[in-house]
Chain A
Amino acid sequence: MDNIVSINNLVFEYKDEETGERTRVLDGVSLDVRRGEFLAVLGHNGSGKSTLAKHMNAILVPTSGSVTVDGLDTADDSKLFDIRRRVGMVFQNPDNQMVATIVEEDVAFAPENLGVPRDEIRRRVDEALEIVGMSAFKRHAPHMLSGGQKQRVAIAGALAMRPELLVMDEPTAMLDPSGRAEVIETVKKLNRENGMTVVLITHYMDEAVRADRVIVLDSGRIALEGTPKEVFPQVEKLTALGLDVPQSTYLIYMLNKQGLGLDGTALNDEECAAELLRALEKRGKGARGS
Chain B
Amino acid sequence: MIRLENVSYTYMSGGPFEKKALDDVSLHINEGEFIGVIGHTGSGKSTMIQLLNGLLKPESGKVIIDGTDLSEKGVNIRDIRFKVGLCMQYPEYQLFEETVLKDICFGPLNMGLFQKEAEERAKFAANMTGLPEELLDKSPFDLSGGQKRRAAIAGILAMEPKVLILDEPTAGLDPAGRDEILFKIRDMHKRMKLTVLLVSHSMEDVAKLADRILVLNSGRVEMFGTPSEVFAQSARLREIGLNVPQITMVADRLRAAGADIPEGIYTVGDCYRILLPMLKR
A contact set with B: CB distance below 8 Å: 44-46, 92, 146, 173-174, 176-179, 203, 205-206, 242-244, 246-248, 250-251, 254-255, 258, 260, 268-270, 272-273, 276-277, 279-280, 283, 285-290
CB of B247 within 8 A of CB of A251, answer yes
Q: How distant is the Cα of A45 from the Cα of B145 in the complex, in angstroms?
A: 9
Contacts A/B (CB < 8 Å), 30 sampled? A45-B173, A45-B174, A46-B144, A146-B41, A173-B171, A174-B172, A176-B201, A177-B201, A178-B241, A206-B246, A247-B204, A247-B247, A248-B246, A250-B268, A258-B280, A260-B280, A269-B247, A269-B249, A273-B249, A273-B254, A276-B259, A277-B259, A280-B278, A280-B279, A283-B278, A285-B278, A286-B259, A286-B278, A289-B257, A290-B258
Taking CB atoms and an 8 Å cut-off, the chain B residues in 135-184 that contact chain A are: 144-146, 171-177
| A44 contact from B175, B250, B258, Cβ within 8 A | B175
Task: Give chain B's interface residue range (CB within 8 Å of chain A).
Answer: 35 or more
From B57-65, B106-114, B269-277, give the one contacting chain A.
Answer: B269-277
What residues of A have a CB within 8 angstroms of the CB of B258 in the complex?
287-290
Question: Complex Cα distance A269/B245, Å?
Answer: 10
Inter-chain contact A251/B271, CB cutoff 8 Å: yes
What is the CA–CA distance of A173 and B253 in the complex, to the nearest angstrom? 29
* Closest-CB distance, B189 to chain A (whole angstroms): 23
B281 contacts the other chain (CB 8 A): yes
| Chain B residues near A146 (CB-CB < 8 A) | 41
Judged by a CB distance under 8 angstroms, whether B243 is at the interface is yes
Q: Are B279 and A260 in touch, CB under 8 angstroms?
A: yes
Tell me, in angstroms, the Cα distance from A290 to B268 when the chains sit together: 26
Q: Give complex CA distance A43, B177 in Å.
A: 12
The answer to whether B279 touches A283 (Cβ under 8 A) is yes
* Contact between A273 and B250, CB atoms less than 8 A apart: yes
Check if A268 sits within 8 Å of B254, measured CB to CB: no
Quote the shortest CB–CB distance from A181 to chain B (angstroms).
Answer: 9
Q: From B176, B243, B272, give the contact of A255 (CB < 8 A).
A: B272
Given the known interface contacts A273-B257, A287-B258, the answer about A251 and B272 at a Cβ–Cβ threshold of 8 Å is: yes
Which partner residue on chain A sits nearest B243 by CB separation?
A177
Say which residue of B171, B243, B257 sits within 8 Å of A277 (CB atoms): B257
Are A247 and B175 in contact (CB-based, < 8 A)? Answer: no
B: residues with CB less than 8 A from A are 40-41, 144-146, 171-177, 201, 204, 241-243, 245-247, 249-250, 253-254, 257-260, 268, 271-272, 275-276, 278-281
Contacts of B174 in A (CB 8 A): 44-45, 203, 242-243
B171's contact among A174, A244, A269, by CB below 8 Å, is which? Answer: A174
B204 partner residues in chain A, CB cutoff 8 A? 247
- Determine how close the nearest CB of chain B comes to the CB of A10; give it in whole angstroms: 22
B246 to chain A, nearest CB (A): 4
What residues on B are CB-neighbors of A290 within 8 Å? 258
Q: Are A276 and B275 in contact (CB under 8 A)?
A: yes
Residue of B nearest to A206 (CB): B246
The 3 closest A-B pairs by CB, nearest first: A289-B258, A273-B253, A242-B176
Q: Which listed residue (B41, B172, B247) contacts A178, Cβ 8 A?
A: B41
CB < 8 Å neighbour of A268 from B145, B241, B246, B259: B246
* Chain A residues closer than 8 Å to B144, beta-carbon distance: 45-46
Smallest beta-carbon distance B181→chain A, Å: 13
B279 cross-chain contacts in A, Cβ below 8 A: 255, 260, 276, 279-280, 283, 286
B275 cross-chain contacts in A, Cβ below 8 A: 251, 255, 276
Kindly identify which residue among B175, B242, B268, B276 contacts A177, using a CB–CB cutoff of 8 Å.
Answer: B242
Q: Are A246 and B246 in touch, CB under 8 angstroms? A: yes
Contacts of B257 in A (CB 8 A): 273, 277, 287, 289
Residues of B within 8 A of A243 (CB): 174-176
- Report the Cα distance A255→B174, complex, angstroms: 26
- Additional A-B contact list (18), CB under 8 Å, known A203-B174, A286-B260: A44-B177, A45-B144, A45-B145, A176-B40, A176-B41, A203-B175, A242-B174, A248-B247, A251-B250, A251-B268, A268-B246, A269-B250, A272-B250, A273-B249, A279-B279, A280-B278, A285-B278, A288-B260
Q: A46-B144, A277-B259 are in contact. Are A173 and B172 (CB under 8 A)?
A: yes
Q: Closest A-chain residue to B168, C-beta based?
A: A176
Q: Are A45 and B146 in contact (CB under 8 A)?
A: yes
Q: Residue of A at shortest CB range from B277?
A: A286
Contacts of A254 in B (CB 8 A): 268, 272
Chain B residues whose C-beta falls within 8 Å of the C-beta of A173 in the assembled complex: 171-172
